[in-house]
């Protein structure tokens, strides 16, 4: 979009540059916005902890370890809310970084085929690695490796004469998505009923019954990846001026891409290995925040982290309570919100009105 | 929405493969499209089949060439002594051993029309619940009889045994089989009569947690075994239950399709559940428990022994309690 280089886009990029130069982003403004979003996330987490498919007494939950209320609170609800925070934060911040890196407003882990590759890796690990006694711990490793391979493949294939065309990238991502979906179905057709259920779980995306250990793994890997993204926030800003300009301003484009791809693959791999494919969170959240607060990634990345956490926790609350005591996969809820939003963004982009 | 039926293969109950969009049967529509493409080929084959099998229309004859599209139907046919009339079975038919040697014709959801017609059947038996009527219509157009039977309740299973018996000239055998089944049910009822009625959770999946809900034959079995199925509250046949609800409802017994250490690791987090605390989490074999056929009597006895082990002392040794690690 920007590379095609019409006059309106150039002026838009120019307008964005004022932003990056720091004209609007003061330390005070950044602090205010991040604190407000942190408060929002904390409120969402509190609400999500207070409600569930069953009512629990907070007093018993906290002070009576022998009560079911305590077990529900400590072993079921709290880890689930924490996992929602971790997964939502990962998905949204990865979306924000990828959109900047490939200069495509529709980029997102799910749409670029990264999540699909990751899910395929996780499923392979689950179904076959456990047979050779490798156990469940290899699942995140496979998810990460497959996510990275998928990302690099999509990126390479989408390059035409060394240029990354936004729509080519989107198409290649969609093709990879379909390919991974087919590969997963192939695995599904040769495994037994039990794994077939699990594969469905991965495809729909769900935060059901995570352990504290899983919460720790996703939070740890997510934080490490996010630190890398934050350290590259300035470079991501400059990248919106185009590869050549960014290079002239001292950005090592190839190293930047490598680092971001590895960090985002690690984050997506961690999230997918426990929650399956939860789509559109990485699309909706960064876009809303970009419209609200501008596209300086020093602000947009932490804002997406917090906004994604809040959105995911609330979506999962809906998944838990709407048809309680049964559950809806949270991926269905995010996709229900995200599908129409995606079309809306596409329509806006057609009119050239989308700023990055 | 009945999202997960453990008897329904993944390919046909899913949604969009990667976005996870809850479309109704995205893949099912794909399968139908492929099915439609096959119709033309099947129609061509139809003529050949007529020429090759002049005796095919003799549906009135008690001796049939039968194709079964479901494991429970195959089991019923063999149990009625009509196994020698069966010429084709579904890909999921794994009992009795003799059935596994017969040609495979797909399943009740994805019947392979060409393979079915190629076997020159006089009678095709599928499941009423989810049979792909479009494909069965093509088979019916060859002049072959096509019937479907139900399996959503114990009553439906007995009715399907009688139906099938009537169609294959084994009505007496069917009546005797149903009578034996009724006797086993009555004997289980008698054994559990007067016992305390425990709350039971029966799972058919872990990730996600899928339970046996109401209006299923398994729920009938749980009721006959004098237990209270905690998944009734969902109002669904195969609900994806929330773990919070399970902890709060405090089931006394958990029947878990998954055996071994993974199940143990899953449950030990939730130590206030009476079933976990008292080592009343049992693994069960999916064969025969998940086969709604003539072996439903032994399934009932297995489940009843897990729910009331004191009333079934001779079966207690055969139980598979899941080791809940501490």
Q: Which residues touch B157 (CB under 8 Å, ≥6 apart)?
A: B72, B150, B151, B217, B292, B293, B296
Predicted structure pTM score: 0.77
Q: What is the pLDDT of residues A241-291, one digit of tens each?
A: 888 888 889 888 888 988 998 899 999 999 998 888 888 899 889 988 988
Q: What does the alpha-carbon distance between residue A270 and residue A341 come to, in Å, rounded to a whole number? A: 26
Q: What does the alpha-carbon distance between residue B221 and residue B227 come to, in Å, rounded to a whole number? A: 9
Question: B107 and B87 in contact (C-beta within 8 Å)?
Answer: no
Which range, of A12-21, A311-320, B101-110, B220-229, averages the lowest pLDDT?
A: A12-21
The distance of B253 to chain A (nearest Cα, Å) reads 16
B314 touches chain A (CB under 8 A): no
The candidate with the shortest Cα–Cα distance to A72, out of A280, A253, A324, is: A324
pLDDT at B184: 95
Q: How many angstroms separate the Cα of B220 from the Cα of each of A191, B229, B300?
A: 29, 10, 9
Secondary structure of chain A: what % helix, strand, coil (to 5)? 75, 0, 25
Chain A partners within 8 Å of B249 (Cβ): 325
pLDDT at A161: 79
The candidate with the shortest Cα–Cα distance to A38, out of A83, A89, A4, A1, is: A89
Which of A180, A189, A336 is the closest to B18 by Cβ? A180
pLDDT at A132: 65
Question: B203 and B210 in contact (C-beta within 8 Å)?
Answer: yes
pLDDT at B50: 37
Residues in A 88-107 with any Cβ partner in B closer than 8 A: none
The distance of B152 to chain A (nearest Cα, Å) reads 19
CB contact under 8 A, A201 and B248: no
B11 touches chain A (CB under 8 A): yes
Chain A partners within 8 Å of B244 (Cβ): 52-54, 56, 72, 76-77, 320, 325
CB contact under 8 A, A327 and B4: no
Q: Which residues of chain A have pLDDT under 70?
A: 1-24, 130-136, 166, 192-194, 197, 349-356
A277 touches chain B (CB under 8 A): yes
Chain A residue closest in CA terms to B212: A326
pLDDT at A299: 94
pLDDT at A350: 55
Which fold would CATH assign to domain B14-181?
A: Rossmann fold (3.40.50)
pLDDT at B140: 87
The more confident residue out of B314 and B226 is: B226
Q: Give Dmax over CA atoms of chain B in angstroms.
A: 69
DSSP state, residue B175: H
Chain A residue closest in CA terms to B8: A193
Q: Over pLDDT 70: what percentage of chain B?
A: 76
Chain A partners within 8 Å of B257 (Cβ): 194
The distance of B249 to chain A (nearest Cα, Å) reads 9
Q: Is the pLDDT of residue B322 over 70?
A: yes
**Strand blocks (E) in chain A:** 159-160, 163-164
Q: What is the pLDDT of residues B135-158, one digit of tens each?
A: 788 888 888 999 989 888 999 999
CB contact under 8 A, A209 and B266: yes
The more confident residue out of B112 and B197 is: B197
DSSP A313-351: HHHHHHHHHTTTTB---HHHHHHHHHHHHHHHHHHHHHT
CB contact under 8 A, A200 and B4: yes
* Chain B contact probe: residue of A50, A209, A343 with most B CBs at under 10 A: A209
Q: Is the pLDDT of residue B227 over 90?
A: yes
| Omega cis (within 30) before B288 | yes
The candidate with the shortest Cα–Cα distance to A218, out of A268, A263, A264, A271, is: A271
Q: What does the alpha-carbon distance between residue B66 and residue B55 come to, in Å, rounded to a whole number? A: 14
Examine domains B14-181 and B197-316 and report if their fold is the same. yes
CA A134 to chain centre: 28
The candidate with the shortest Cα–Cα distance to B212, out of B187, B190, B173, B240, is: B240
Chain A partners within 8 Å of B4 (Cβ): 197, 200
CB contact under 8 A, B244 and A336: no
The more confident residue out of B198 and B32 is: B198
Q: Is the pLDDT of residue B39 over 60?
A: no
Give the pLDDT band (50/70/90) at residue B131.
Answer: low
The distance of B59 to chain A (nearest Cα, Å) reads 35
Domain definitions of chain B by residue range: 14-181, 197-316
CATH top class, domain B197-316: alpha beta
B18 touches chain A (CB under 8 A): yes
Q: Is the pLDDT of residue B194 over 80?
A: yes
Chain A residue closest in CA terms to B233: A325
DSSP state, residue A77: I
pLDDT at B13: 35
Q: Give Dmax over CA atoms of chain A in angstroms.
A: 68
A200 touches chain B (CB under 8 A): yes
Q: Over pLDDT 90: what percentage of chain B?
A: 47
Question: B56 and B64 in contact (C-beta within 8 Å)?
Answer: no
Helix (H) or strand (E) holding B237, with range, is none
Handedness of CA A218, A219, A220, A224 (dihedral sign): positive
Q: What does the alpha-carbon distance between residue A343 and residue A107 come to, in Å, rounded to a whole number? A: 13
CB contact under 8 A, A329 and B208: yes
Q: What does the alpha-carbon distance between residue A73 and residue A264 come to, in Å, rounded to a whole number? A: 31
Which of B4, B272, B290 is the closest to A71 by Cβ? B272
Buried b (16+ CB within 10 A) or exposed e, B246-271: bbbbbbbbbbbbbbeebbbebbbbbb
Q: How many angstroms separate the Cα of B292 from the Cα of each of B12, B74, B119, B157, B257?
A: 20, 11, 26, 7, 15
Q: What is the pLDDT of residues B86-95, one digit of tens each?
A: 999 988 888 8
Which range, of A340-354, B68-82, B180-194, averages the lowest pLDDT?
A: A340-354
Residues in A 20-59 with any Cβ partner in B closer than 8 A: 52-54, 56
Chain B residue closest in CA terms to A198: B207
Which of B11, B208, B209 is the closest to A189 by Cβ? B11
Q: What does the alpha-carbon distance between residue A209 and residue A83 come to, in Å, rounded to a whole number? A: 10
Question: B247 and B272 in contact (C-beta within 8 Å)?
Answer: yes
CB contact under 8 A, B18 and A277: yes
Chain A / chain B CB contacts < 8 angstroms? 158
A181 touches chain B (CB under 8 A): yes
Give the pLDDT band (50/70/90) at residue B23.
Answer: very low
Residues in B 184-243 with any Cβ partner in A closer than 8 A: 204-210, 231, 233-234, 236, 239-243
Residues in B 32-71 with any Cβ partner in A closer than 8 A: none
Q: Is the pLDDT of residue B33 over 60?
A: no
Chain B partners within 8 Å of A327 (Cβ): 208, 240-242
B13 touches chain A (CB under 8 A): yes
Q: What does the alpha-carbon distance between residue A279 and residue A290 come to, in Å, rounded to a whole number? A: 19
Query: What are the residues facing A160 on neighbouring strands?
Result: A163
Q: What does the alpha-carbon distance between residue A278 and residue A87 come to, in Å, rounded to a whole number? A: 9
Q: Is the pLDDT of residue B313 over 80?
A: yes
């Amino acid at each position: 979009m920007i590379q095609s280089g019409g006059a309106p886009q150039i002026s838009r990029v120019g307008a964005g540059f004022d932003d990056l130069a720091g004209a609007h982003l003061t330390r005070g403004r950044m602090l205010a916005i991040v604190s407000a979003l942190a408060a929002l996330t904390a409120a969402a987490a509190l609400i999500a902890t207070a409600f569930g498919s069953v009512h629990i007494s907070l007093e018993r939950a906290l002070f009576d370890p022998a009560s079911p209320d305590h077990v529900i609170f400590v072993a079921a609800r709290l880890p689930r809310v924490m996992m929602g925070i971790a997964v939502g934060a990962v998905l949204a911040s990865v979306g924000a970084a990828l959109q900047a890196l490939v200069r495509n407003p529709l980029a997102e882990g799910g749409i670029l085929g990264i999540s699909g590759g990751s899910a395929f890796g996780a499923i392979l690990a689950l179904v076959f690695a456990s047979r050779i006694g490798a156990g469940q711990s290899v699942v995140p490793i496979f998810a990460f490796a497959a996510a990275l391979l998928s990302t690099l493949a999509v990126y390479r294939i989408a390059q035409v004469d060394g240029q990354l065309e936004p729509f080519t990238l989107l198409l290649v991502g969609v093709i990879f998505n379909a390919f991974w979906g087919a590969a997963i179905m192939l695995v599904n057709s040769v495994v037994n009923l039990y794994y077939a259920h699990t594969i469905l779980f991965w495809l729909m995306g769900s935060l059901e019954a995570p352990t504290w250990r899983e919460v720790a793994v996703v939070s740890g890997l997510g934080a490490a990846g996010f630190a890398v993204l934050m350290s590259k926030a300035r470079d991501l800003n400059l990248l919106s001026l185009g590869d050549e300009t960014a290079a002239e301003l001292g950005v090592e484009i190839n190293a930047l891409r490598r680092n971001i791809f590895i960090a985002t693959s690690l984050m997506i791999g961690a999230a997918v290995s426990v929650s399956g494919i939860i789509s559109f969170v990485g699309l909706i959240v960064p876009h809303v925040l970009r419209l609200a607060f501008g596209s300086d990634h020093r602000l947009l990345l932490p804002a997406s982290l917090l906004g994604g956490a809040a959105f995911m926790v609330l979506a999962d609350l809906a998944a838990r309570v709407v048809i309680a005591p049964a559950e809806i996969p949270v991926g269905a809820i995010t996709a229900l919100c995200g599908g129409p939003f995606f079309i809306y963004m596409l329509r806006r982009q057609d009119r050239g009105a989308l700023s990055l | 929405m009945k999202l997960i039926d453990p008897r329904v293969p993944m390919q046909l109950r899913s949604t969009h493969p990667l976005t996870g969009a809850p479309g109704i049967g995205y893949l099912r529509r794909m399968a139908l499209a492929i099915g439609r493409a096959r119709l033309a080929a099947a129609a061509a084959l139809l003529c050949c089949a007529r020429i090759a099998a002049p005796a095919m229309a003799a549906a009135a004859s008690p001796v049939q060439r039968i194709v079964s599209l479901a494991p429970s139907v195959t089991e019923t046919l063999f149990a009625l002594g009509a196994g020698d009339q069966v010429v084709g079975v579904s890909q999921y038919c794994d009992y009795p051993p003799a059935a596994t040697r017969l040609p495979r014709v797909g399943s009740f959801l994805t019947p392979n029309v060409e393979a079915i017609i190629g076997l020159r059947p006089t009678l095709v038996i599928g499941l009423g619940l989810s049979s792909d009527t479009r494909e069965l219509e093509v088979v019916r157009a060859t002049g072959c009889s096509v019937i479907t039977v139900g399996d959503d309740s114990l009553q439906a299973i007995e009715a399907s045994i009688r139906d099938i018996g009537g169609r294959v000239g084994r009505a007496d055998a069917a009546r005797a089989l149903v009578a034996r089944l009724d006797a086993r049910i009555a004997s289980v009822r008698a054994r559990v009569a007067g016992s305390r009625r425990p709350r039971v959770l029966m799972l058919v999946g872990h990730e996600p947690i899928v339970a046996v809900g109401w209006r299923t034959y398994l729920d009938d079995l749980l009721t006959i075994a004098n237990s209270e199925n905690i998944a009734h509250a969902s109002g669904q046949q195969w609900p994806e239950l929330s773990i919070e609800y399970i902890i709060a409802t405090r089931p006394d017994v958990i029947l878990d399709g998954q055996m071994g250490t993974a199940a143990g690791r899953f449950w030990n987090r939730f130590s206030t559940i009476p079933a976990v605390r008292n080592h009343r989490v049992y693994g069960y074999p999916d064969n025969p428990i998940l086969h709604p056929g003539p072996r439903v009597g032994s399934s009932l006895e297995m489940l009843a022994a897990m729910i009331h082990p004191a009333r079934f002392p001779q079966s207690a040794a055969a139980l598979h309690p899941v080791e809940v690690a501490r």
